[in-house]
Amino acid sequence: MEVKFFSAESREAAEAMAEAHFKCDRKDLVLEDVNGGEDGKPWEGFAMTGTPSQINNTDAGFATYFEADGVYLEIFPERGAGNELEAAVLSKHLSRKNISGLNTSAVQSLIMERRGRAKIASAQQESIYGEDLVVDIPKDEMTARAWLLSPEPGGPLMELDAAVKKVREAGITNGIDEQALTRLLEAKDYGEPFVIAEATPPKDGSDGKLIFHFSTDGRTGRPREIGGGRVDYRSLDLYEPVVENQLLVTRTPATEGVPGATVTGRALKQKPGKEINLPKGKNVDVNEERTEIRAKCSGMVEFLNNSINVSSVYKINGDCDLSVGNIDFDGSVHISGNVRSGHVVKASGGITIGGAVEAATVIAGGNIEIKGGMQGADKGRIESGGSISILFIERGTAVADGSINVDVSIHSNLEAGGSIIASGRRGAIIGGQAGAAGDIVANFLGAISQPLTYIEVGVTPRKRVRIQNLEKEIERIKNETVKLDQLDVYLKNGKEKLDPETWDKLFRSGAENRRVNEQSLEEYKTEIEDLKYELEHATESKVHVLETAFDGTKITIGNGIYKINTEIQFATFRYKDAEVIYGPCERSKAKE
């Protein structure tokens, strides 16, 4: 398809000129009038040659001619289903031609007429443009793209050095990808965008680290397996012995990281690593550089609540009864007998009880091992900063920051920051509540008699209670803020009536209370947000039933609840798509 503008004394003369120009017969030409030659004016129009389909459905186009008397622009219109002229494309073409003294008015008039020929500049040497590069930098400056513009016939191709120079002139100083530029120049996909530069991301610093030279997670309190599916509740992995001056912890400092840069060289700030402090400790020595912790004495080491404690053991040969009284010991406690009703045993370390616990209270900062069981009579309570191992618990409460290992729990409340493992001869949780941040594993949940048994995994119930308490505290602070506002009004209006000392005392007291309240309010809101986020995402834990889950058992995971209405055997309950589902048990009895 070719199109050319012709001007002659008559249509016939224009036809002859077109036949000579296109070197074809008249039958192969189509002429379209622009000016019909009336009133003695010359005939003007376009001659076209090509297939009928091309001629009948051709896009609008243009051409420039550098002739002896000036530079001329020809515009021919679209035909049939062809596209209209894109003024921006024409404008870009004229810009790239570097025409001196361009008559923009003549160009605009011709564009408005949509067809014809007009002189747009005085005579001059034609500049044949070659390939060119257009560069775009988004507002965020994280990438840069380039488009390769096509050359005129005979125009020079762009070399890599010229492309790099063009990119740099656009303001890109960092992250230029010369390989991408090479692919762009070789592909010849004119008008297609290529990413030719990318920002250098900052490298965040690494956080400080603590290296523990003793096991911090191996003290699980789980009973030792002795084969045949049996376990020994009298042999538990609870403590790790240390000797004086033994290295316990070393600290590696945080690093600053390396800043990045956008494609224009604007700095991207890195996130420095967070420094970590050495944990607190008792009976430990810290060097001057605060990079090492060593044991001050021989004993046993425990890591609980970000504190390293080296402690000795308080031993009681016999029962904890009236002859002994209550116990509150900074260390570990070993009781060979029983803990009688009404007594309280507290230890900052671990507690080992060789017998049973009645309706008593046992509180430990470390692990608790009760080789017998508990007859709590709805009053007995066990609290552990580590793990709890107990043979059975009936009508009692057991709360552990770590895991709970029990053979049978009957109408009791269990709460574990780790997992709850009900294994042994029975391995059952019958009635009451059992909540664990980790998994719950049991042979039986509930019983044939269908006692109400509530099971929850993913978070501990205490965290839900904590949210409620924090919300009450926030409400209290808001009410107190109202009173402080009233105090401010009173002080403002009564400054002249009160003596300066009383006024100043009230003012300082109000300001301090307001500061403390604002600080507490911010801390409480942050804690609530963290707890609610944890509750919403606490969906990874599972409930494994090795034998049977009976009717009357309710299982909660995240915001999903499953009420068991008929016996379900050998199943694992997990969270999926906002509900609790179950499938074949993922744990085997031999492993417990």
The DSSP secondary-structure symbol of 337 reads S
Span 119-163, pLDDT tens digits: 999 999 999 999 999 999 999 999 999 999 999 988 999 999 999
The DSSP secondary-structure symbol of 377 reads T
Between 88-92, 436-440, 537-541, the lowest mean confidence (pLDDT) is in 537-541
Question: Looking at 419-533, which runs of residues are DSSP E strands?
Answer: 420-422, 428-436, 440-445, 453-457
pLDDT of residue 102: 94
Span 83-127, pLDDT tens digits: 999 998 899 999 999 999 999 999 999 999 888 889 999 999 999
Share of the chain above pLDDT 70, in %: 94
φ, ψ at 96 (rounded to 5°)? -70, -20
pLDDT of residue 233: 39
- Within 8 A by CB and 6+ apart from 160, the residues are 178, 181, 182, 185
pLDDT of residue 553: 96
pLDDT of residue 26: 84
Which of the four pLDDT bands, split at 50, 70 and 90, describes residue 225? Answer: low
Span 153-208, pLDDT tens digits: 889 999 999 999 999 999 999 999 999 999 999 999 998 999 999 999 999 999 99
Q: Which of 504, 550, 555, 558 is nearest to 532 (CA)?
A: 558
Which of the four pLDDT bands, split at 50, 70 and 90, describes residue 15? Answer: confident
Residue 445's Cβ-side half-sphere holds a number of Cα atoms within 13 Å equal to 34
Between 24-38, 228-242, 341-355, 399-413, the lowest mean confidence (pLDDT) is in 228-242
Which of the four pLDDT bands, split at 50, 70 and 90, describes residue 230? Answer: low
Mean pLDDT of the region 276-290: 90
Q: Hey, is 292 helix, strand or coil?
A: strand
Contact 100, 121 (CB under 8 A): yes
* Average pLDDT score over the chain: 88
Which of the four pLDDT bands, split at 50, 70 and 90, describes residue 229? Answer: low
Span 298-350, pLDDT tens digits: 677 888 778 888 877 778 889 988 887 888 877 788 999 999 999 999 988 88
Span 63-74, pLDDT tens digits: 999 999 999 999
Mean pLDDT of the region 448-477: 88
DSSP 163-215: HHHHHHHTT--S-B-HHHHHHHHHH--TT--EEEEE-B--EEPPPPEEEESS-
Burial class (CB in 10 A: 0-12, 13-18, 19+), 321: middle
Rounded to whole angstroms, the Cα distance separating 393 from 416 reads 15
Contact 280, 306 (CB under 8 A): yes
Span 24-37, pLDDT tens digits: 888 888 888 877 76
Between 231-245, 438-452, 482-496, the lowest mean confidence (pLDDT) is in 231-245
- Within 8 A by CB and 6+ apart from 216, the residues are 303
Which of the two residues, 546 and 227, has the higher pLDDT score? 546
- pLDDT exceeds 90 at position 82: no
Rounded to whole angstroms, the Cα distance separating 545 from 560 reads 18
Span 552-565, pLDDT tens digits: 999 999 888 999 99
Mean pLDDT of the region 572-586: 92
Which of the four pLDDT bands, split at 50, 70 and 90, describes residue 591? Answer: very low
pLDDT of residue 304: 78
Span 508-535, pLDDT tens digits: 998 999 899 999 999 999 988 888 777 7
Tokens of 93: 């073409």
